[in-house]
Amino acid sequence: MEAAGGRRADAGEVFESYGRYWGELLALAARPERCAALRMEVSGLEHLIDARGRGAVCALGAHLGNWDLLGHWIARDMPNMAFMVERLRPARLFRLFENIRGSLSCSVLAAEGGGRELYRHLRGGGHAGLLADRVIGAGWRSAPLLGGTRRIPSAGMDLARRAGATLLPIFIRRHGLRFEIRIHPPLDEAEDPVIGFARALESEILAAPEQWSLLYPLHDGEATVAPALAMKKAVAT
């Protein structure tokens, strides 16, 4: 894949980044106090502060960089944070992730059939995060992304809107041994949130294509292929 500024990413770089994610996740789960020593840079913090002051925040993220570290960072200053996740099989694997993410100060809600629980959580003053770059369960709409269209999960965004939550795209990227958290402005309430999120997601992928560790087809109707190869097809110049 060739992105802005002539940067390229191939499948090997994507899997290397994904391997780093797993190593970081297990290390931080074993010693959560290490999070305080990480070098973190934040842009757009004013958006999070403003949204938090108005009520519940639905932080929209993606499988970019280390998304579990992002969840931990958000949960440090925003108690009662829950993340909607896929119910993995077998059940022991799902419980493992519940325990790891619980040790990083985040509670877990299963996305499949969890809409009512999410709504109650938000209406009760809680905060929630959605990994919104892959469809889990029912409810999606297509949006333009990287030269094609991609299905983006819509049920959680629509439910969060009904609950009065602010939809705030938040992403994390690595830069060597430091991390950068990028907080985008809240999604425009007059626009389909799927379209607004896809636009923010595209800008983040193009800035760090090798860090998007989503091993699924890039565009609607595309044959299963490694994401780096699909993205190369979509945006190479």
What are the φ/ψ torsions at residue 30 (nearest 5 degrees)? -70, -35
Query: pLDDT value at position 88?
Result: 67
Per residue in 160-182, pLDDT tens? 999 999 999 999 999 988 999 99
Q: How is domain 4-235 classified at the CATH fold level?
A: Glycerol-3-phosphate (1)-acyltransferase (3.40.1130)
Query: pLDDT value at position 17?
Result: 93
Residue type, 140: W
Q: How far, in Å, CA of 101 to CA of 176, rounded?
A: 24
Percent of the chain past pLDDT 70, that is, above it, reads 85
Closest to 171 measured CA to CA, from 17, 39, 42, 34: 42
Q: How far, in Å, CA of 129 to CA of 91, rounded?
A: 22
Query: pLDDT value at position 197?
Result: 97
Q: How far, in Å, CA of 151 to CA of 144, rounded?
A: 9
Residues 6+ apart with CB under 8 A from 107: 81, 82, 83, 101
Q: How confident is the model at residue 8 (pLDDT cuts 50, 70, 90)?
A: low
Where are the domains positioned within the chain? 4-235
Query: pLDDT value at position 223?
Result: 53
